[in-house]
Amino acid sequence: MKTKETLKKGLYAGAGAGLVLFALIGLLPGSFIGGVVGLNIAGGIFGTPLEAALLPRMIVGISMVLGIMVAGLVFVVGGSLIGWLAGYVIDAIRHGKAETTDLAAQHK
């Protein structure tokens, strides 16, 4: 495994796939989950029937953004890890075949 080009290609492909999956699947649920967490935090601080004040809205908005960021992080890092592992396996298989052919050539 002298060159690790397959690892890099797998990493980039996995990151791209994770980004696409995040855009299709993870954006809306991340926002919803972050919003619910923000509502629970703001409800715990200011009381359950929340008023239309600025601070509870800011808490909910910031938690929605954090929910989106965490969902994006999970999808992109997960996709990158899966792509890197696939590249590693492909590289190991190629390197194993090269060793097998080198050993066969030495024994002749």
- Is pLDDT above 70 for 2? no
In a domain, 105, yes or no: no
Mean pLDDT of 34-39: 95
Number of domains in the chain: 1
pLDDT one-digit tens code per residue, 89-105: 988 888 777 666 655 56
CB 45 within 8 A of CB 73: no
What are the backbone angles phi and psi of residue 49, rounded to the nearest 5°? -75, 100
What pLDDT is stored for residue 73 in this prediction?
96
Q: How confident is the model at residue 6 (pLDDT cuts 50, 70, 90)?
A: confident
In angstroms, the CA 62 to CA 35 distance is: 9
Nearest to 64 by CA among 23, 40, 30: 30
In a domain, 104, yes or no: no
pLDDT one-digit tens code per residue, 60-74: 999 999 999 999 999
Residue span of the structural domain in which 79 resides: 5-97
Average pLDDT, the chain: 88
